[in-house]
Structure 1
Amino acid sequence: MLSYAVGHREAIDAVTQWRDLGLQKFELEDHEWVILEQLHDVLKDATLCFSRTTPNLAMVFPAMDHVDRMLVSYSYNKKYLPSIRSAVWLANNTLNHYYQLTDRSQTCRISMVLHLQHKLAYFKAAQWEDGWIKTTEQVVHKEFEDLYSSINNNSDTGCEDDVFESNNDV
């Protein structure tokens, strides 16, 4: 909707100026169009990563990290009006409030570690806190021990650590 309005500004301006339609109260002033265009710019970029691929649990952390970096960047970018920067800053604080709740989710941590592309290397490359990474590793080890240690497996492959580190160690 925002993309449509920004792309059809001239037509919207023309229609809202016609007195006989009674739409003058909806006419936007130039400074309002600037706000609309900047808001469109921020929202378009911040949400683009969510529409690229089919979402899955292992993509939560990379997507949220990406959006966080973008919102922080926008909140300090003097190209945007102070009202846009403030709104972006508040949105990022709200996002981070809920993002921190994923720390309580063992399923999110385990899905990242078991993901063929990510493993613990993602968190190291993204410079997450060492304590958080160690806790995540312990969560996966504990879950494995709780669920699979009782299975009688006579063949020890020695590949247990492969679950945690990718071939491209960081």
Structure 2
Amino acid sequence: MGAFGLEYRVVIEAITGEKSSGLREYELSEEEWGIIEELVEVLKVFKHATLFFSRGTPNLASVIPAMDKIDEILTTNSLDDKTFQPCIRAACSLAKKTLNRYYDKTDHSENYRIAMVLHPRFKLDYFRRADWDDEWVQAARTITEDAFNNSYRDRAISGAHTPAVPISSNIPSSAVRPLSSFLKCFVS
């Protein structure tokens, strides 16, 4: 909606600026237009996240890295007094607080950590690079090992295993690294 308003600013100003239209009370000041521009910029992180998680490729292992990236962006924006007005920085702080409430909920499900540990791209290295406490990294490892031991350790392996997809197959990079594409949206 904000991007639409910015795109049609000239028309909106023409309509609200006419006395005869009866819409003068809705005319925006330069400061209000500036706030809309800043808000559109800040909301891009949520647009990219929504589009990413609406695709068919995201998985449980991509939730925590995506939340970490969103948190990083919100933190940066909430502290950036050169780019953003106080109301936008306050909104970013509130959004970060809300995001952290959802992030805390991932602690109540072991599945997120198990998915991260088992994911070939992340494993325990992700937690270390993200500066998680050693105790938390060890807890993620223990949770994963316990889940394996409880569910799979005693199962017999029948027959030779053949990979479903040959290693030499030509899988497009967009299918292999959708999270990378999502995270790159914020770098440009």
1:39 aligns with 2:47: no
What is the count of residue pairs matched by the alignment? 155
Aligned to 1:116: 120
RMSD of aligned residue pairs (Cα, Å): 2.0
Partner residue of 1:48?
48
Q: Counterparts in 2 of 1:1-170, with a 5 A limit?
A: 1-52=1-52, 54=55, 55-78=58-81, 79-153=83-157
Q: Secondary structure at the match of 2:31?
A: helix
Q: Which amino acid aligns with 2:13?
A: D
1:19 Cα offset (Å) = 3.3
* Matched-pair contact (CA < 8 Å) for 1:58–1:111: yes
Change in 2 beyond 3 A, CA 1:128/1:50: farther
In structure 1, list runs of 5 or more residues that go unmatched: 156-170
8 A contact 1:50–1:63 mirrored in 2: no
Q: Deviations over 1:81-120 (max 9, x none)?
A: 1111111111101111221110111111111112121111
| SS in structure 1 at match of 2:48 | helix
State the structure with bigger RCO (CA 8 A, min sep 6), 1 or 2: 2
Q: Is the 8 A contact 1:47 1:67 kept in 2?
A: no
- Which amino acid letter does the alignment assign opposite residue 8 of structure 2? H
TM-score, normalisation: structure 2? 0.75
Post-superposition Cα deviations, 1:104-150, rounded to whole Å, max 9, x if no partner, equal: 11111111112121111111112112111111111110000000122
Structure 2 gap ranges (5+):
160-188
Which stretch shows the higher mean deviation, 40-49 or 120-129? 40-49
Following superposition, the deviation at residue 24 of structure 1 comes to 2.4
Take 1:128 and 1:51, find their aligned partners in 2: how far apart are those partners? 28
Output the amino acid matched with 2:24.
Q
Deviates more, 1:45-54 or 1:17-26: 45-54
Pair 1:56–1:154, CA change in 2 (3 A): closer
**Closer/same/farther in 2, CA of residues 56 and 22 from structure 1, 3 Å limit:** farther
TM superposition shift of 1:56? 2.1
AA aligned opposite 2:122: H
Cα distance between partner residues in 1 of 2:47 and 2:134? 29
* DSSP 3-state at the match of 2:116: helix
Distance 1:128 1:87, change over 3 A: same
**Separation of aligned partners in 2, 1:145 and 1:91:** 39
TM-score normalised by structure 1 residue count: 0.82
Q: What's the CA shift for 1:50?
A: 4.2
Q: Percent identity?
A: 38
